[in-house]
Chains A and B, each alone.
Chain A
C-alpha cells in the first residue's frame, strides 16, 4: 500500500503548492511534483513481487515480468512532461517580460495596442514589484 500512499501524498502536496503559490516558477515546480505522483502511481500499479523488468534478454521469455504497459506510459509521461515544463517556463518568461512580475495575483490583462501598452505595463509592473511585501 505504501507506493499508493506516496503517490497520493506527492499529488496532494503538489496540489497544495499550486494552490498557495505566489510565484510562477514555484507553480511549475509544484506541477512537476504532481506529475511525479503519476510516475509513482503507474509504476506501483504495474509492479508484481518477484518479477523482472520486462526485458527478456538475460531471462528467457516467460519469466514473470512487471507490466510493460505502465512503463511505456511513464516514458511517455516523462517526455511530454519535460517539454510541457519548458513551454510553461517560456510562458513565465513572457509573463514576466510583459507584466514585470512573477506573482499570479499581479497578472493584468494584456492591452490590444502592442508597443505602448506593453511598455506601460512593464513599467507599472516594476513599480508594483517594488512595493510588494
Chain B
C-alpha cells in the first residue's frame, strides 16, 4: 500500500470514529474543576485506614494490588519474551560472563568518566534503595526505585566497561531477582489466605503514620516489585548489549551476527 493510500485509509477511519470521539470529548469533565469521586474517597479515607501517606503506593500495593499483580506478570512476560527472542539459538550457554575478544581493541575511557561513575554508581544505588524503602511516605515506590537501581548498574557499565560490568552483574542473579520479585508479590497475595483472610488482605501490623515502616504488607509487595523491576530492566539491557557484541562463533551457521 502506498503511503498516500495509508493516509487516506487513516482519514477514513478517523471520519468513521469521529462521532464517537466527539461525544466522549464532550463528556469529559472540565479541566481542573473536580476529580472523580473514587479518588476523592481514597484521599479522605486511606491515610487513617492504612496509616500510609503516599496514596499512589496505597492504590498500587493495597487497594488495587490485584491490578499490580497482573501488571507484574505483564512485565515478566514482556521481559521473558524479549530474552527468548534475543537469545535465539544461543541459549543460555554464553550469557554467564563476557569474554574479551582477542585482537579487538578496548577503547580506553577517560579517568574522569571512571571516577564519576565510581562515585555516582553506589550513590545512585543507595538513592534507589531509599526510594524503594520510603514508598509509603514519600513520592516513590518499587517501580521508580527499581528503575533507579537498574540505572545504577548501568553506571558500572559506563565506568568499568562491558567486561567489568558483566563480572559484577551476573545473569542468573537477574533472573532470580526478576522471578523472585514476582513470586514474592504473588506470595503476598496468597499468604494471608492461610490465616483465613481474603487474597492480598493486609494482615501485618499497619505501623505508625508517617513512618517508613507503615502499611504492613505493602512494604513487602513494594520490595517484590522493586526486585522484579530492577532485575528485569537490567536483564533487558544485558540482552540488548549481548546482541550488539560480536560472538566468538556465529550463533547460527550461515548467518552473520548482527
Contacts and interface: CB of A to CB of B under 8 A. Distances in A.
Real binding pair: yes
Interface in A72-119: 72, 75-76, 78-80, 82-84, 86-87, 89-91, 93-94, 96-97, 105, 115, 118-119
A44 B31 contact: yes
What bracket does the count of chain B residues touching chain A fall in?
A: 35 or more
Main SS of chain A's interface residues?
Answer: helix
Contacts of B64: 69, 72
Interface string B61-99: 000100110010011001101100110000000000000
Given A22-B3, A83-B78, A87-B82, A72 B10 contact: no
A132 interface: no
A1 B30 CA distance: 7
Contacts of A1: 30-31
B173 to A, nearest CB: 19
What bracket does the count of chain A residues touching chain B fall in?
A: 35 or more
Nearest to B32: A49
Contact of B60 (A45, A66, A72): A72
Contact of B28 (A45, A89, A122): A45
Nearest to A61: B47
Contacts of A84: 78
Contacts of A83: 74-75, 78-79, 82, 232, 236
B78 A86 contact: yes
A47 B210 contact: no
A69 B62 CA distance: 12
A29 interface: no
7 contacts: A19-B10, A55-B56, A57-B54, A67-B35, A83-B82, A89-B240, A90-B86
Interface of A: 1-4, 8, 15-16, 19-20, 22, 44-49, 51, 53-57, 61-62, 65-72, 75-76, 78-80, 82-84, 86-87, 89-91, 93-94, 96-97, 105, 115, 118-119, 122
Report, nearest first, the 5 A-B pairs whose CB atoms are least far apart: A67-B39, A68-B55, A54-B55, A61-B47, A83-B78
